[in-house]
Amino acid sequence: MPDVDVVYSAGGTDPVHTISDGVSEPTALAFDKSGNLYVANANASYGTVTVYAPGSGEVLRTLSSHFNSPNALLFDFRGDLYVLNWSGQDVVVFAAGTSGVKRVISRNIDYPSRMALDRFGNLYVVNYGSSSDVTVYGGPRMAYKYAITDGLDAPYWLTFDLIGNLYVSSQSNNTIAVYAPGKRTLLRTITDGVDEPIAVAFEALRKR
């Protein structure tokens, strides 16, 4: 796997530049509100997150504490950074724009593959391990709330639609499970044309 990130201009097909400084088996990318690029690196000791200023290929700073195979990144509305650790089996939260660990979320996390925040700021974590569920956390300290298990078997990915319904892909039972906002029981399943689904996404609505 090349240890490089490739940058393209909007709508372009030729690389503008590449980022290799500080990149080691990159697994996830995310941008903060200022346009800084964050790269999760799985193969740098136990893992790192490297930060780059907009348009730059030089490392601005490196986050290296509390990582073990980081594989997903996201920012909340405050700008706090959430880092999902596959082997560490936890989520590490960094205060906005700093290297300071704000909290570590680990209760009921079992080889997590993906995470997302709903419109109320609750954190959803997909557990690909033996628990085979989605765990939900919320409140000021992101306390454990409940687990979603109905209809899931080796879940891997999740996303929300525009009205807040949760969609979770399950590889073993070849389904996309759908849940109403805040609910743990299945609303419906999508199976037609689904075979070991890895990712789920919605296209943007176009104005006519």
pLDDT of residue 118: 97
Give strand pairing partners of 140. none
Give the Cβ contact number of residue 174 at 10 Å: 16
Is the pLDDT confidence value at 29 over 90? yes
Q: Is residue 5 part of a domain?
A: no
Question: Which CATH number covers residue 144?
Answer: 2.120.10.30
Cα–Cα dist 5/47, whole Å: 16
Is the pLDDT confidence value at 206 over 80? no
Q: Is residue 192 part of a domain?
A: yes
Pick from 41-50, 98-107, 120-129, 174-183: least confident: 41-50
For 166-189, write each residue's pLDDT tens digit: 999 999 999 999 999 999 999 999
Q: Is residue 41 part of a domain?
A: no
For 68-106, write each residue's pLDDT tens digit: 999 999 999 999 999 999 999 999 999 999 999 999 999
Q: Is residue 27 part of a domain?
A: no
With a CB cutoff of 8 Å and minimum separation 6, the contacts of 161 are 167, 202
Output 184-191 pairs: Cβ under 8 A, ≥24 positions apart. 184/146, 184/147, 184/148, 184/149, 184/150, 185/150, 186/150, 186/151, 189/151
Host domain of residue 156: 107-208
Q: Is residue 93 part of a domain?
A: no
Q: Is residue 13 part of a domain?
A: no
pLDDT band at 207 (very low <50, low <70, confident <90, very high): low
Q: What is the pTM of this model?
A: 0.94
Say how many domains are in the chain. 1
Q: Is residue 114 part of a domain?
A: yes
Q: Do 158 and 117 touch, CB atoms closer than 8 A?
A: no
